[in-house]
A = this chain, B = another copy of it.
């Protein structure tokens, strides 16, 4: 029987980060990570296997991260938790724990569409063999229908398209793809980019049925039309994987995730949870959040790992910072979109700035960059921002993320001291963040 001071269940972003953090903060403790997978896929990299990277083997998280962090690991399936004896039953025998961290992730949702269980209908599972199987099936497919125009949907569409020779259609129930993640103007830019790359988009449309005899042959849409389909991909969200926790009697919240407090501790004082399986709250007002992102998972893991033997960290709630790329077009959001902020009842002032990301604008690598910032009217506090640009937009977004996290006001951001360089950034005279802040200050003053 194995025995460790800290046992982490789950080997993806949350599990690895929790284990490494625990060992870093408690170097005298033995930390053991238990995971089911022989090889662990980089979760956000999965779409890129299909057009850019080529094989799942090129999209793996190396065990070097664990080794460097002095974390041992076992490949086994945990079948149950005996909380009284503080031990795990696994496919490789029992493992005793002092503290346990659950990082069991999420499972793709399968929407209740008739025929969704037919052969040729795939969810995206974080598993090498299943990804290989999907790759094989895609090789001969002519018509691919993707249900759901979220990140999974658009990134898979774009990647699969790179192979050529296929008709790819995204069917999205909302008026626009990505509408949970960006304001409409940014969603439209993303859709234009997808269409320019040959991808069909059917928005405002629901798939009412998936048909075929032995396997999928097509889908029926809410407008009565049908689309041919050799392959259907479901990109319709994910559900916290809480079976183990639930069977052990841990409290599960009404969002379906393991209930944790702001220290990431579950209803059992010896058990913590982090990542997709753990309950999330928003940075904005503390209400429940259903966002699932690897970056959120690693934050929670850094909290859980540090708190095991003495509370030092508190979860401030999920800011929500994400980005995606379609070719040279990168799109990012930090904090609230205008749509979400207004739905939440905020009185909002926005500022939009557009211009080259180099100075002069004829420098190599120059691209048009658009930044939208969103402030609360009364306080002037930054609620969120969106960026559209080239690859540096990913880090420009993180500047906005820092400003949101420190609850900077428009006035604070107008006083932001940034570095600028002709070959790397916009001009300091029209740097998008300070310019947007100044625009917002004027609007706030005029609004009274």
Contact = CB atoms under 8 A, between A and B. Distances in A.
The 9 A-B pairs of least Cβ separation, nearest first, read: A394-B424, A321-B419, A395-B395, A402-B402, A325-B423, A295-B428, A298-B428, A392-B392, A395-B396
Contact of A424 (B316, B325, B431): B325
Given A394-B424, A424-B394, A429-B298, A417 B405 contact: yes
25 contacts: A24-B438, A24-B441, A25-B441, A44-B422, A283-B417, A294-B428, A295-B431, A302-B414, A302-B415, A303-B415, A313-B414, A321-B418, A323-B419, A323-B421, A334-B419, A365-B391, A391-B423, A394-B395, A394-B423, A395-B396, A398-B399, A401-B418, A402-B402, A402-B406, A402-B416
A59 B360 contact: yes
A296 interface: yes
B360 A422 contact: no
B321 A438 contact: no
A58 interface: yes
A415 B399 CA distance: 15
Contacts of A48: 360, 363, 422-423
A204 interface: no
A90 interface: no
Copies in the complex: 2
A325 B421 contact: yes
B294 A420 contact: yes
B392 A429 contact: no
Q: Of residues A53, A316, A428, A441, which shows the largest number of chain B Cβ atoms within 10 Å of its Cβ?
A: A428
Interface of A: 13, 16-17, 21, 24-25, 42, 44-45, 48, 52-53, 58-61, 65, 283, 294-299, 302-303, 306, 312-313, 316, 318-319, 321-325, 330, 332-334, 359-360, 362-365, 391-399, 401-403, 405-406, 408, 411, 414-425, 427-431, 434, 438, 441-442
A379 B61 CA distance: 35
Nearest to A419: B321
B295 A415 contact: no
Given A13-B427, A321-B417, A394-B424, 15 more contacts: A21-B438, A44-B421, A45-B360, A48-B423, A294-B429, A330-B421, A330-B424, A333-B419, A365-B391, A394-B395, A394-B419, A395-B398, A396-B398, A398-B419, A401-B419
